[in-house]
Amino acid sequence: MSAKPVEFVVDIRGQICPSTLLTALKEINDHRDGIRSGEVKIVVLTTNRNATSTIPNAAENMGYRVSVERENSHYRIEIEAE
Amino acid sequence: MDFTQKTILAMLIIGGLAGWVMHRSDFCLTGMVRDVFLTRSYLMLRVLFLYVILSALSFEVMRRLGVSIQAFGPPGLAHLLGGVGFGLGMTLSGNCVFGSVYRFGSGEVTGATTILGLVFGSLIFFEFATPISGALKRIALFKAATIPELFEVDPLYIILPLVFVGALLISSWARAGKLSMKSFISSFLQPWKAALVIAFLGTLSILTFGIPLSISTLYSKAATQLEALILPQHIINNAYFTKGIAIELPFQAGKITIDNGPALDTLSAAQGSLFIGIFFGAFISAKVAGDYEINFRIPPRHYLLAFVGGAIMALSARIAEGCNVWHILGGLPYLSTSSLLFLFGLFTGSYLGSRILQRAIITTPGSAE
């Protein structure tokens, strides 16, 4: 049975518009090996509605599994290995 | 109801609908230009093209029916340089003159910060930049105010081929799925649908008030009133504040008054109503969607970027005789040459801003849990 991945939380709620996508992409790239091996899961917390499309689409194109949920009044985007 | 009262009511409704759809789709005019450089995304540019084609057709139909439309002036160096400055400012702040309002309405504090920057930038313009701006505006590049005037043809000879080619392009994009993005939340509105609504609202704005959607002069008026309160002598001594115009609108049976001084005019009444409408439209949309959230705890440099970007936008809009909303949503469908020049500057400024942003904002540390 595989271990539960460590969640790496990136809280970028309220930040200026392009910060969300750029920061998320940087974190995905920085943790590429960990995500692919199933050891790390990136969790992005954002209030930016556009990011609920741009980040998942970019991450899916990279071959990751993505889920988006509303958590209280912001969005929680989880990016992990397929 | 007189003309001003009708205008206020119409702009409140137009603003409310615009605020709702802009929030639902995150209809970001800043991202349309910026994301070409930052993420190589062209989706919003295609959406803008859809808007321009639809609005060009509706503007031409209105013109032929005798609807009074506020004309755009001939192009000058001021439009190009103003466009560069505006592109830089909006990319740094992450908001434009519309984006700041609908994001403020949905709880984003950087939207409110950009609005403060826009008012501050207008103050700086009055104090230091009116002579430079005046000199730039005297450097005209050519006399033709529109593309049809440039080629000395009836606008229909430009509009009809444009609409025909545009329709072919748009239908091919639609078939290839290049007008939509995969959505992960149910309340998300595809930006192309928002473009249809905003094109309709822009047409309504002209039918009622003779002017395409715009808002930046409101920030200028707020700054003038602030200056009249704290530095009244500066208002008296500056010739800029004594200027004003009145535009008769035979079709709409009214008159637009534009006064550079602190006195309220019909333009600021219309733009103020639009501002209030957009704010509450976005506020209600965010509350209904369940994603209204205020976050003050963001890195200080984000406040700085939002404020400074807003100030640069206001300065640039005064120089370019209009903001991005005025030139893109109003000027491009009108085939205005000054707006095309502004757009060229906007891309240049946005490219510069994108380079600065990439260094300035990707610093948020994550945390392992």
Taking the C-alpha atoms of B212, B13, B276 and B335 in order, what is their torsion angle to the nearest 10 degrees? -10
Query: Which residues of chain A neighbour B369 with C-beta distances below 8 Å?
Result: 6-9
pLDDT score, position B208: 93
**Nearest CB neighbour to B298, from listed A6, A14, A56:** A14
CB pairs under 8 A between A and B: 124
Separation between Cα atoms, residue B162 and residue A9, nearest integer Å: 48
**pLDDT tens figures, A4-18:** 899 999 999 998 877
Query: Which residues of chain A neighbour B357 with C-beta distances below 8 Å?
Result: 18, 22
Q: For residue B366, is pLDDT > 60?
A: no
**Nearest CB neighbour to A17, from listed B41, B94, B185:** B94
Q: Is the entire prediction scored with pTM above 0.90?
A: yes
Spell out a b/e string for B161-189, using b for 16 or more CB atoms within 10 Å of the CB, else e. ebeeebeeebeebeeeeebbbebbeebbb
**Nearest CB neighbour to B31, from listed A17, A22, A27:** A17
ipTM of the complex: 0.91
Residue spans per domain, chain A: 6-80
Chain Cα centroid distance, residue A81: 11
Chain B nearest-CA distance from A36, in A, is 17
pLDDT score, position B344: 97
Q: With an 8 Å Cβ cutoff, are B107 and A47 in contact?
A: yes
A55-59, B292-296, B362-366: the lowest-pLDDT one: B362-366
Q: With an 8 Å Cβ cutoff, are A16 and B295 in contact?
A: no
Chain A nearest-CA distance from B308, in A, is 13
What is chain A's percent helix, strand, coil content, to nearest 5? 35, 35, 35
Work out the average pLDDT over B244-268: 91
Q: For residue B86, is pLDDT > 90?
A: yes
Report which of A27, A15, A18 is spatially closest to residue B297, judged by C-alpha positions: A15
**CA-CA distances (angstroms) from residue A24 to A19, A32, B244, B361, B365?**
8, 12, 49, 12, 11
With CA atoms as reference, the chain A residue closest to B358 would be: A22
Q: With an 8 Å Cβ cutoff, are B302 and A19 in contact?
A: yes
pLDDT score, position B363: 52
Q: For residue A1, is pLDDT > 50?
A: no
Tokens of B312: 């640069």
With CA atoms as reference, the chain B residue closest to A51 would be: B26
DSSP structure class, residue B125: I
**Nearest CB neighbour to A73, from listed B30, B94, B293:** B293
Task: Say how many CA atoms lie within 13 Å of B114 toward its Cβ.
Answer: 33
With CA atoms as reference, the chain A residue closest to B296 would be: A14
Selecting from 2.60.40.1120, 3.30.110.40, 3.10.105.10, 3.30.43.10, what CATH number does the domain A6-80 have? Answer: 3.30.110.40
Query: Which residues of chain B neighbour A5 with C-beta distances below 8 Å?
Result: none
Q: For residue B369, is pLDDT > 70?
A: no
pLDDT score, position A40: 95
pLDDT score, position B365: 47
Q: Which of A7, A9, A12, A16 to mutate to test the interface with B (most CBs of B within 10 A)?
A: A16
Q: With an 8 Å Cβ cutoff, are A8 and B23 in contact?
A: no
**pLDDT tens figures, B44-80:** 999 999 999 999 999 999 999 999 887 788 999 999 9
Q: With an 8 Å Cβ cutoff, are B290 and A14 in contact?
A: no
With CA atoms as reference, the chain A residue closest to B182 would be: A53
pLDDT score, position B279: 98
Residues in CB range of B161: below 8 A, 6 or more apart:
none
Work out the average pLDDT over B298-319: 95
Q: With an 8 Å Cβ cutoff, are A53 and B294 in contact?
A: no
Using CB atoms within 10 Å of the CB of residue B149, give its burial: 0 to 12 exposed, 13 to 18 middle, 19+ buried. Answer: middle
Report the range out of B29-33, B69-73, B170-174, B318-322 with the highest average pLDDT.
Answer: B170-174
Query: Which residues of chain A neighbour B358 with C-beta distances below 8 Å?
Result: 22
Q: With an 8 Å Cβ cutoff, are A18 and B31 in contact?
A: yes
Report which of B110, B95, B125, B124 is spatially closest to residue B304, judged by C-alpha positions: B110
Q: What are phi and psi of B231, to 5 degrees?
A: -135, 65
Separation between Cα atoms, residue B321 and residue B138, nearest integer Å: 13
Residue spans per domain, chain B: 3-359
Q: With an 8 Å Cβ cutoff, are B366 and A68 in contact?
A: no
Chain A nearest-CA distance from B258, in A, is 33
- Which neighbouring-strand residues pair with A8? A42, B368
3-state secondary structure at position B277: helix
DSSP structure class, residue A65: E
Q: For residue A2, is pLDDT > 90?
A: no
Q: For residue A3, is pLDDT > 80?
A: no
Cβ-based neighbour number of residue B10 at 10 Å: 20
pLDDT score, position B364: 47
Contact by Cβ (8 Å): B239, B349: no
DSSP structure class, residue B301: H
Q: With an 8 Å Cβ cutoff, are B30 and A17 in contact?
A: yes
With CA atoms as reference, the chain A residue closest to B299 would be: A15
Chain A nearest-CA distance from B41, in A, is 10
pLDDT score, position B315: 95
B131: pLDDT confidence band, cut at 50, 70 and 90?
Answer: confident
Contact by Cβ (8 Å): B105, B281: yes
Separation between Cα atoms, residue B187 and residue B25, nearest integer Å: 9
3-state secondary structure at position B336: strand
